[in-house]
Amino acid sequence: MQKKLATYFERLWPICRSITGNGLRESFRILQEIVPFELTEVPTGTQVHDWEIPKEWNIQDAFILTPDGRKVADFKLNNLHVLNYSSPVDMEVTHEELSKHIFTLPEQPTAIPYVTSYYEEKWGFCLSHNEWLTLPKDGKYRVVIQSELTEGSLTYGEAILKGDSEKEILFYSYLCHPSMANNELSGPLVLAMLYEKLAALPQRKYTYRFVLAPETIGSIAYLSKNGSALKEKLEAGWVLTCCGDAGKIHYKNSRKGNALVDRISKHILKQLPLEWNDLEFSVGGSDERQFCSPGYNFPVGSFMRTPYQRYPQYHTSLDNRDFISIPAMEEGVEILFQMVLALEINETYEAVVQYGEPQLGRRGLYPSSNLPNTDQRQMVHNMMHLINWSDGEHDLLSIAEKKGTAMFYFAPLAKLCEEKGVLRRK
């Protein structure tokens, strides 16, 4: 998996993406080699809830020529150099005029900032603060941005893995940033690898929906078309973001706070030998805020490592190949897969015998001797715990949590008790 993650990262890394345009479509074409995304194009001007799809943006080149003939802010060397969604321009300006269109980070003088202007047409360049300070103040600069803002469309993609039930589990990530590693490519790549693992399962209880869309406007566009249907089907969902750095895992709860996705996520994380943080829902962040907006209030949490805005490389050129960890992404895939497996085995049972405890011996569920056997006695004790709490109201997850034991331990006991006629599914 690590080799595949690295290969696809290198192919996707150079592409200049935005919330619309050919860079976005090219990225989808590459990811379609792993996930059979069905693409939807939402035309410019379409009303999507309170928003409107903007013009499509495409760019060929951008640069600044200094008075002494040097080329700086070269888009072809780093696509963060141009203000994302910048209007086209080809003109001469003074240093003073240029300064009104330059973005730097004085507090991070070696970093190129990532800046956008999706909904206001203007032009601009992004430079490291150190480079900006070296540019001469006398003479004329030539600024060139070869871009187009046209009537076009916004692209999003979804893929569905059918299961035995129409009840659905959602995995969502965004695709819209230019060359940033953690805050852009880690989420889609983890999502793609997870799709492969789930596609390989011989049987699935749930139906799984995988969605990639441009952040904010893309998820709103997706929900404006699909939100009502999801209300009827969605059992749990995760937004995947910032999955690639070497920091500890963070799980951000859904707005509901104690939904199945919250309970499953924290149960699995508690079983693993790693440090992790439990975050309350807040509106700052990624597209979980769209899925958890009041009208939807979906059971959607967020899985990440170091959260957005909490690492200095965020939205800068320092969020690059050197910042991310391919093993960290692979670990994220495996953890999410464990969460899926936990969802798949979670059931609510009802004890067949409601008054008193069932006679386990005649069903072959009780040891035939009283010889001390710690493991066997513990197994019987756990079985009795399972049967007692199987009242049609407590699912397997809550029963395991009451015991402080992994639900993967109780699943085979539940299956055995069901086969022996002690439990039935609610």
Q: What is the pLDDT of residues 343-376, one digit of tens each?
A: 999 999 998 888 888 877 777 777 665 555 566 7
Q: 262: burial class by Cβ within 10 Å (0-12, 13-18, 19+)?
A: buried
Of 254, 255, 225, whose CA–CA distance to 238 is shortest? 254
- In the chain, the percentage of residues whose pLDDT exceeds 70 is 98
Residue spans per domain, the chain: 2-54+154-345, 56-150, 348-425
Dihedral pair phi/psi, residue 256, rounded to 5°? -65, -35
Domains 2-54+154-345 and 56-150 share a fold: no
When pLDDT is averaged across residues 386-397 and rounded to a whole number, the result is 90
Name the pairing type of β-strands 249-252 and 276-279: parallel
Tokens, residue 124: 């601009």
Tokens, residue 41: 């194009």
How is 134-183 classified by DSSP, letter by letter? HS-SSS-EEEEEEEEEES-EEEEEEEEE--SSS-EEEEEEE---SS-III
**Model pLDDT, residue 387:** 87
Of 147, 143, 108, whose CA–CA distance to 125 is shortest? 143
**Model pLDDT, residue 382:** 84
- In the chain, the percentage of residues whose pLDDT exceeds 90 is 83
When pLDDT is averaged across residues 135-145 and rounded to a whole number, the result is 96
Indicate the residue type of 148: E
Asked which of 63-77, 243-257, 409-423 is least confident by mean pLDDT, the reply is 409-423
Distances (CA, A) of 403 to 35, 117, 145, 263, 399: 39, 53, 63, 15, 7
Asked which of 168-177, 250-259, 275-284, 378-387 is least confident by mean pLDDT, the reply is 378-387
When pLDDT is averaged across residues 141-156 and rounded to a whole number, the result is 98
**Model pLDDT, residue 229:** 93
**Model pLDDT, residue 249:** 96
Helix (H) or strand (E) holding 365: none
Mean pLDDT of the residues in the chain: 94
Q: Say whether domain 56-150 belongs to CATH 3.50.30.90.
A: yes
Over residues 296-312, the pLDDT tens digits come to 999 999 999 999 989 99
Of 99, 77, 98, whose CA–CA distance to 89 is shortest? 98
Buried b (16+ CB within 10 A) or exposed e, 311-337: bebbbbbbbbeebbbbebbbbbbebbb
**Model pLDDT, residue 251:** 97
pLDDT band at 239 (very low <50, low <70, confident <90, very high): very high
Predicted confidence (pLDDT) at residue 20 exceeds the cutoff of 80: yes
- Hey, is 45 helix, strand or coil? coil
Q: Which sign, positive or negative, has the C-alpha torsion 226, 229, 230, 231?
A: positive
**Model pLDDT, residue 361:** 75
Predicted confidence (pLDDT) at residue 16 exceeds the cutoff of 80: yes
Over residues 53-94, the pLDDT tens digits come to 999 999 999 999 999 999 999 999 999 999 999 999 999 999
Class of domain 2-54+154-345 as given by CATH: alpha beta
Over residues 170-216, the pLDDT tens digits come to 999 999 999 999 999 999 999 999 999 999 999 999 999 999 999 99
Longest alpha-carbon distance in the chain: 97
Class of domain 348-425 as given by CATH: mainly alpha
**Model pLDDT, residue 374:** 63
Supply angle C-alpha 317, 97, 63, rounded to 5: 40
Q: Which residue has the higher pLDDT, 83 or 384?
A: 83
